[in-house]
Structure 1
Amino acid sequence: MPTLTEPKLIAGNANLPLAQAIARRMTMHRGVHTGLVDARVERFNDGEIFVEVYENVRGEDMFIVQPTSNPANDNLMELLIMADALRRSSAARITAVLPYFGYARQDRRTKARTPISAKLVANMLVGAGIERVLTMDLHAAQIQGFFDIPVDNLYASPVFALDIKTHFKDQMNDLMVVSPDVGGVARARELAKRINSPLAIVDKRREKAGEVAEMTVIGDVKDKICLIVDDMCDTAGTLCKAAEVLLENGAKEVHSYITHGVMSGPAVERVTNSVMKSLVITDTIQPTAAVQAAPNIRIVPTAPVFAQAILNIWNGTSVSSLFDDDTLTPIYESLYSAA
């Protein structure tokens, strides 16, 4: 069936470089110029957010690129107000492209009288007129069930696997994938399968939130190059401690592959001074100048996979096909040669 509408991108202020990179990629894939819709997203003196779209979007397939990263509340409100503006402008369909889904850590009630904020955010997105969500590495996969609209959850592990096969191509037999906690085992196992490596776990016990009292390594990491895999790095305290524990247990060296580089507070300083050889993150959250300047932090682009996912949604074709190496490798061929 021929597609009558055009895919149009609009972006808030959360990660404009990523939105522009996605637009460039879509232009390259289609051979037709795709730019960001001309709009202004600004604040009044009291902090209220105002959005004005300068182009006609009636009947168009709209994609809002806006991770809800720090400042999470401002970026979330920008997203909601942009969605409302597009809905009132008669857009045919509105898809929220959330490279990083904020509030995802509040996905359940861990004790009495606490909220499930991820569900509240889901309700707000749907109420604003969003009809589909495209995101990457949700903190908890069950958040997809909070929505009564389609949710496409992309994974960074296929991209990380390509990176690992390129940078460790002569050391593949020495690699060991490590989950920094029991809850992340499924994510780590997925990457371990892709690179055909064994799996270890760092079991941590907390006395209180943000403080780790004890760590135990489950698995033999002696003389291994350990790759810690997780969905986000916030203050990096746990990550740096896990790297130390792995080396104490005989690991040869430690690297980390983290999807979302939240990098709050002392995170960059901790990573720079840590025993980790490298920390690889994606650009789902716009990296700060400090992150970009850190000698042992490397950033992997997500624009190629997001651009292809947006085109697949627009065309009505499979998004899950992007999880296959045969499909993903060609769109990253400018970065990684065949390993």
Structure 2
Amino acid sequence: MPAQDPKLISGNANPELAASIAKRMSMHRGMTVGLVDARVERFNDGEIFVEVYENVRGEDMFIIQPTSNPANDNLMELLIIADAMKRSSARRATAVIPYFGYARQDRRTKARTPISAKLVSNLISQSGIERVLTMDLHAAQIQGFFDIPVDNLYASPIFALDIMHHFAGNMADVMVVSPDVGGVARARELATRIKAPLSIVDKRREKPGEIAEMTVIGDVRGKKCIIVDDICDTAGTLCKAAEVLIEAGATEVHSYITHGVLSGPAVERITNSVMKSLVITDSIQATDAVKACPNIRIVPTAPMFAQAILNIWNGTSVSSLFDTATLEPIYEPLYPRGMTGLAAE
């Protein structure tokens, strides 16, 4: 086991998640794991300034900072904190990025456009960060954009526990739905975990931002449909897919989305939609409007990230967290054994 204890430092993107991870790690370690005392603030002209008040020489540092809205500010905070760690002689700096911004710009969709995800990965790699820990990258190939190790966690094991808990006794009626053809692999993975059938909503666009037609592939009549996706931004596609599923005979529609970007009219659309519930993770700090929305529920990722950080620090397997059997004891306070239907299998 390494001589140094892991140390956490947080930017301003999601301090609530950082505090939850520290608290969870304290439970696992049997000793207090706190956030490194530092200030991350802005000068009057918007420049970001970082000052660390503790000695970090030779320490194994984990920088917790999703690059969510405002993406550019949060990205710069991450890079500047990493530079501060490097210049303070930290032994290693790992970027814990629960939500990786710019991930949707992972390829050239037309002539004379950038691949911004590659540019961001270059910036992170050159800042002194030696490893990245993230969750549900929009495209798996983004791991290949980095010249440093990238551990990509998945929310589907957590979602599986949540679904088995909240739909206990009705699992025979559950059907997993992919909101587009590109998300079939993600939906199939969750469907396999909970032993549910799979359906697809095929969408065609006349032009970007406008959906011309949606078609349900599969029989959803009498089913409790669960839409699975990685990102929900303005919720237009999600709410439209829910309407199409209800029209096709589904009795209920629920959605499980990893990253609740929820910008613009998203919360209002979800409140007024036919969806009974939208479940998101806390990878992005929820706004007051999101917290107040009656049909949005947030599941924590801190237990999983805390264990992943400890595994990285110990040099043990991170991929073990992909298994429901591994995560079930970690999430036992939320989903007690015997209530999910998984422990008996």
Same-fold call, TM cutoff 0.5: yes
Q: Which amino acid letter does the alignment assign opposite residue 129 of structure 1?
A: G
Structure 1 residue 143: Cα displacement:
0.2
TM-score when scaled to structure 1?
Answer: 0.99
Hey, what does 1:222 align to over in structure 2?
221
Q: Which amino acid letter does the alignment assign opposite residue 45 of structure 1?
A: N
Hey, what does 1:199 align to over in structure 2?
198
Hey, what does 1:330 align to over in structure 2?
329
- Other structure's SS at 1:78 match: helix
Structure 1 residue 35: Cα displacement:
0.2
Hey, what does 1:278 align to over in structure 2?
277
Structure 1 residue 208: Cα displacement:
1.6
Hey, what does 2:134 align to over in structure 1?
135
Hey, what does 1:71 align to over in structure 2?
70
Hey, what does 1:167 align to over in structure 2?
166
- Other structure's SS at 1:255 match: strand
1:91-116 CA-to-partner distances (Å, cap 9, x unmatched) read 00000000000000000001000000
Could you list the runs of 5+ residues in structure 2 that have no partner in the other structure? 341-345
For 2:290 and 2:206, how far apart are their aligned partners in 1? Answer: 30
For 2:91 and 2:4, how far apart are their aligned partners in 1? Answer: 8
Hey, what does 1:308 align to over in structure 2?
307
1:267-326 CA-to-partner distances (Å, cap 9, x unmatched) read 000000000000000000000000000000000000000000000000000001011122
Hey, what does 1:19 align to over in structure 2?
18
Q: Which amino acid letter does the alignment assign opposite residue 204 of structure 2?
A: R
Q: Which amino acid letter does the alignment assign opposite residue 27 of structure 2?
A: M
Structure 1 residue 180: Cα displacement:
0.2
Q: Which amino acid letter does the alignment assign opposite residue 4 of structure 2?
A: T
Counterparts of residues 1-339 of structure 1 (less than 5 Å): 2-338=1-337, 339=340
Q: Which moved more, 1:169-178 or 1:202-211?
A: 202-211
Structure 1 residue 188: Cα displacement:
0.2
- Other structure's SS at 2:57 match: coil
Q: Which amino acid letter does the alignment assign opposite residue 95 of structure 1?
A: T
1:70-107 CA-to-partner distances (Å, cap 9, x unmatched) read 00000000000000000000000000000000000000
For 2:207 and 2:53, how far apart are their aligned partners in 1? Answer: 49
- Other structure's SS at 1:32 match: coil
Q: Which moved more, 1:302-311 or 1:322-331?
A: 322-331
Q: Which amino acid letter does the alignment assign opposite residue 195 of structure 1?
A: I
- Other structure's SS at 1:247 match: helix
Structure 1 residue 207: Cα displacement:
1.4
Q: Which amino acid letter does the alignment assign opposite residue 291 of structure 2?
A: Q
4+ residue stretches of structure 1 with deviation over 3 A? none
TM-score when scaled to structure 2?
Answer: 0.97
Structure 1 residue 337: Cα displacement:
1.3
Structure 1 residue 209: Cα displacement:
1.6
- Other structure's SS at 2:96 match: strand
Structure 1 residue 18: Cα displacement:
0.2
For 1:211 and 1:297, how far apart are their aligned partners in 2? Answer: 25
For 1:240 and 1:337, how far apart are their aligned partners in 2? Answer: 32
For 1:153 and 1:136, how far apart are their aligned partners in 2? Answer: 5
Q: Which amino acid letter does the alignment assign opposite residue 163 of structure 1?
A: D
For 1:259 and 1:209, how far apart are their aligned partners in 2? Answer: 23
1:169-188 CA-to-partner distances (Å, cap 9, x unmatched) read 11100000000000000000
For 1:318 and 1:56, how far apart are their aligned partners in 2? Answer: 29
- Other structure's SS at 2:138 match: coil
Q: Which amino acid letter does the alignment assign opposite residue 65 of structure 1?
A: I
- Other structure's SS at 2:283 match: coil
For 1:325 and 1:125, how far apart are their aligned partners in 2? Answer: 31
For 2:158 and 2:260, how far apart are their aligned partners in 1? Answer: 16
